[in-house]
Amino acid sequence: MTPLDPARERTLGGVYALAAYVLWGFMPLYFLLLAPMGPFEVVAWRILFSLVFCALLLTVLRAWPKLRAILRTPRLVLWTIVAGALIYVNWQVFLISTLTGHVIEGSLGYFINPIVTVLLGVLVLGERLRRAQWVAIGIAVVAVVVIVVGYGAFPWIALTLAGSFGAYGLVKKQIGPSVDAASGLTLESLWLAPVAVVQLIVVAVTGGLALGAVSGGHTALVLLAGIVTATPLLFFAAGARRSSLTVVGLLQFVAPILQFVTGAWILGEPMPLERWIGFALVWLALVVLTIDSVRAARRPRRRPAASDVAPVV
């Protein structure tokens, strides 16, 4: 077997990670194509079709033994259940924000996510923050206050997305490499399948299902939800294994930037002065956090802390 070229592998890892973040960045446009289907029906189909796609993927990759090994480990099973609950909250709130004209606020959540991850490192893992990290958290808190007071609305979508995504990433760190991306998404979708079925029943009884009732093209787009969900996850898993934490950490801002551009310029969502100020403060906090992380990564003989890079799903 030909030995792998480390430089080529790192470059390839960066390309894979970038592809994942670009796909995540433009994902709101895909889900907007599913209108008039509501967010609860979209999430339900997303769960079920992700399960189907992952089952096919495991069959093609002959990876079912990995899944069975995970199921024989109660600790890993419990963590995948927790991960499933967190990603359900994240998906549901993300779809609500996308389909109700709040794409910009959704992007704010993913901008805040790295800061939430750092904070979780302190509260849950008992890590000690560097001075610059405390400064970044303080600036982010001021940003939220500015948005609440100046814009007159509590950014619950942004904070829920940031919190659920940060906690999901923390769970993934607890699982570590014991659960690969395909097996993890399969199990998370499996645990959520009963919730999806109940959700579809409620939607069918209260307003009727949109799947198959709009057009053939619309139905095809809904059926692709599993592939659309799994593809960036697989790209990210491939990239994270090959690239450095610093590169992955810097690339993570591609997705919320693209979501912000989508909401502000493509969809024309309002950006009053108060919201610009709040976002500017968040971006300042991210600059401080990023510079500090890059400097810390360059220090010799230092193992990266869990809070140095925010994981992305």
Q: Where are the domains of the chain?
A: 6-298
pLDDT of residue 4: 66
More confident residue, 78 or 251: 78
Tokens of 175: 């699982």
Q: How many CA atoms lie within 13 A of 216 on its CB side?
A: 0
Tokens of 164: 């659920």
pTM: 0.86
pLDDT of residue 236: 83
CA separation for the pair 277, 139 (Å, rounded) = 12
pLDDT tens, residue by residue, 17-42: 899 999 999 999 999 999 999 999 99
pLDDT of residue 310: 43
pLDDT tens, residue by residue, 193-232: 999 999 999 999 998 999 999 999 999 999 999 999 889 9
Amino acid letter at 181? A
Q: Is the peptide bond before 36 cis (omega within 30 degrees of 0)?
A: yes
Residue whose structure tokens are 């109660």: 74
Average pLDDT for residues 177-182, to the nearest whole number? Answer: 84
pLDDT of residue 107: 93
Q: Is the pLDDT of residue 88 over 90?
A: yes
With beta carbons less than 8 A apart as the criterion, state whether 27 and 90 touch.
Answer: no
Q: Residue 125 to residues 129, 183, 273, 286: CA-CA distances in angstroms?
A: 11, 26, 37, 21
Alpha helices in the chain (DSSP H): 6-32, 39-61, 64-71, 74-99, 103-123, 131-151, 156-175, 181-206, 216-223, 225-242, 245-251, 254-261, 273-298
Question: Which pLDDT band holds residue 180 (cuts at 50, 70, 90)?
Answer: confident
With beta carbons less than 8 A apart as the criterion, state whether 170 and 113 touch.
Answer: no
- Angle among Cα 307, 312, 313 to the nearest 5 degrees reads 140
49 contacts: CB under 8 Å, gap ≥ 6? 222, 223, 224, 225, 226, 227, 229
Tokens of 159: 């904070």
CA separation for the pair 261, 35 (Å, rounded) = 20
Average pLDDT for residues 151-173, to the nearest whole number? Answer: 87
35 C-beta neighbours (distance < 10 Å), count = 13
